Every structure is written in C-alpha cells, then in structure tokens.
C-alpha cells in the first residue's frame, strides 16, 4: 500500500529539478552534444535543495544541466545518461528516482554486503542485559541519582547550536526532496537541470576515473 501511495504521489512531487545556473560554463565540466550543450557536477552520494543536503549511499549522484539552442524543443530521459568507471566497457545505467526512494525507505529488501552481524548484548526500555547476569537498570526511578552521582538529578537542558532560539522547525522529508530535485523527463523548451542516479554499492575510493556519457559527448567527471 505504501508503494502504491508513493507512485501515485510521484507526479505531484516531480516537475522542479534543481536551480539551473546561468550558463553551461558555470558547471565543473561541460561539453556540446548534438542537440544541446550539457554541464555536469559529480556529487558522489549527495543531493541537495538549498542548504539541505542528503545522502543516497548506494548511488552515485550527478547533477546534469542541458542548455538547448534558443527556441529549440528537446526531449529528456534519465536513460540518456551513462557512467563509465575506470575506463571499463560496462556502463552504469540510471535508475528512476522512485526506485531510489523505495530503496532508501526499505533497505531491508536489499541483499546484505556482508554476512549477518551478531551484537554482544541487547537493550530494551533503558535496561541493558549481559549474558549470564540479570538485567540491571542503574537508574530505576525517574529523578533518582544513580550510584556515585552527586549534584542535581536532572542534567541542565542542552541548547542546540544550530537552533539556539528553540523554535521548532518543520521536518524535511528526504524522499520528497529527492523526487523534487530529480531531472525532469519529457519535452523542454529552455535550459533545465536536476540530479540523476546510478546504482553503486562499492567504495568510491576505487574510482580513479569517472565519465558521464550523453549522446555523442563524454564528460570527464574525475
């Protein structure tokens, strides 16, 4: 049911992309394809909107911008883009933003990279259990002092550095930001930009060279 709601709402969330810079030269790398100029920036695993930044840890993220000739209409699709890592013949294909969101919200459906992990203890409701001994709660009564503690029973309230006024901020949904900032597919009449996503579960430290392929142009991202 949750997946159904996600896909039903996707059309409402799409349609924005990222804020396109003034010209293609403003992007870290750029080139000229058959139908338009293209600029790109390699974001590693991050995507953002304004000052808000989030991580899609199992994806390589590239912001792309397309600048068509004045008055021209062009078609955009995520499948137009490919990544080549370390000069290999095999190319990484993009995945739909809705797939990335489903993957992020339900990581339990992904096969583990390692074998199952076994922790040495377990905690429940503030009680920590150690093998071979009964559960021990060092502070069983609200407001009581644990053994050896002096001073007031309650610690002074902490003032958050990023919000000293204490005014509650509206939570930001990373999934909504991802859908809103993804590259918008379909016909366009002016310059556009947005993030595209490539599945990658390896370590980014192994990437020595990285190329973005769009139509007949190859952009060296790294």
For residue 139, tell me if it sits in a domain: no
CA distance 204 to 164: 36
Residue 81: partners with Cβ closer than 8 Å, 6 or more residues away? 62, 64, 94, 196, 212, 213, 214
For residue 143, tell me if it sits in a domain: no
User: Structural domain of residue 207, as residue ranges?
Assistant: 2-109+171-220
pLDDT of residue 126: 42
CATH of the domain at 76: 2.60.40
CA angle, 192 then 195 then 198, to 5°: 135
pLDDT of residue 41: 97
Cβ density class 127-143: b for 16+ within 10 Å, e for less: eeeeeeeeeeeeeeeee
* Count of domains observed in the chain: 1
pLDDT of residue 116: 40
181 with 194: CB under 8 angstroms?
Answer: yes
For residue 152, tell me if it sits in a domain: no
Nearest CA among 11, 12, 15, 26 for reference residue 65: 26
Tens of pLDDT along the chain (222 residues) come to 444 444 444 444 455 899 999 999 999 999 998 889 999 999 999 999 888 899 999 999 999 999 998 888 889 999 999 999 999 999 999 999 999 999 988 877 765 544 444 344 444 444 444 445 555 555 555 555 555 666 555 556 666 676 666 666 667 899 999 999 999 999 988 999 999 999 999 999 999 999 999 988 999 999
pLDDT of residue 145: 57
pLDDT of residue 149: 60
pLDDT of residue 107: 78
Nearest CA among 41, 47, 39 for reference residue 191: 39
Q: How many CB atoms lie within 10 A of CB 200?
A: 19
For residue 141, tell me if it sits in a domain: no
For residue 8, tell me if it sits in a domain: yes
For residue 208, tell me if it sits in a domain: yes
207 with 85: CB under 8 angstroms?
Answer: yes
pLDDT of residue 66: 95
For residue 115, tell me if it sits in a domain: no
pLDDT of residue 198: 97
Nearest CA among 199, 175, 191, 212 for reference residue 14: 175
pLDDT of residue 59: 96
pLDDT of residue 147: 59
For residue 82, tell me if it sits in a domain: yes
* Sign (positive or negative) of CA dihedral 60, 9, 18, 220: positive
């Amino acid at each position: 049911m949750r997946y159904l709601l996600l896909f039903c709402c996707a059309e409402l969330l799409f349609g924005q992309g990222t804020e396109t810079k003034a010209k293609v030269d403003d992007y870290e790398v750029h080139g000229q394809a058959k139908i338009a100029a293209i600029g790109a920036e390699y974001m590693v695993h991050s995507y953002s909107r304004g000052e808000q930044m989030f991580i899609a840890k199992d994806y390589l993220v590239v912001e792309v911008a397309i600048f068509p000739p004045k008055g021209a209409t062009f078609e955009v699709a995520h499948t137009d883009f490919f990544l080549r890592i370390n000069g290999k013949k095999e190319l990484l294909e993009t995945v739909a933003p809705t797939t990335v969101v489903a993957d992020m919200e339900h990581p339990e459906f992904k096969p583990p990279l390692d074998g199952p992990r076994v922790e040495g203890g377990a905690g429940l409701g503030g009680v920590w259990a150690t093998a071979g001994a009964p559960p021990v709660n060092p502070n069983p009564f609200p407001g009581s002092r644990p053994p050896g503690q002096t001073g007031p029973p309650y610690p002074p309230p902490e003032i958050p550095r990023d919000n000293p006024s204490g005014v509650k901020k509206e939570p930001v949904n990373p999934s909504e930001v991802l859908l809103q900032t993804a590259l918008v597919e379909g016909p366009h009449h002016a310059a556009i930009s947005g993030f595209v996503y490539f599945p990658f579960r390896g370590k980014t430290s192994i990437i020595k060279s990285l190329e973005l392929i769009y139509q007949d142009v190859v952009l060296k991202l790294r």
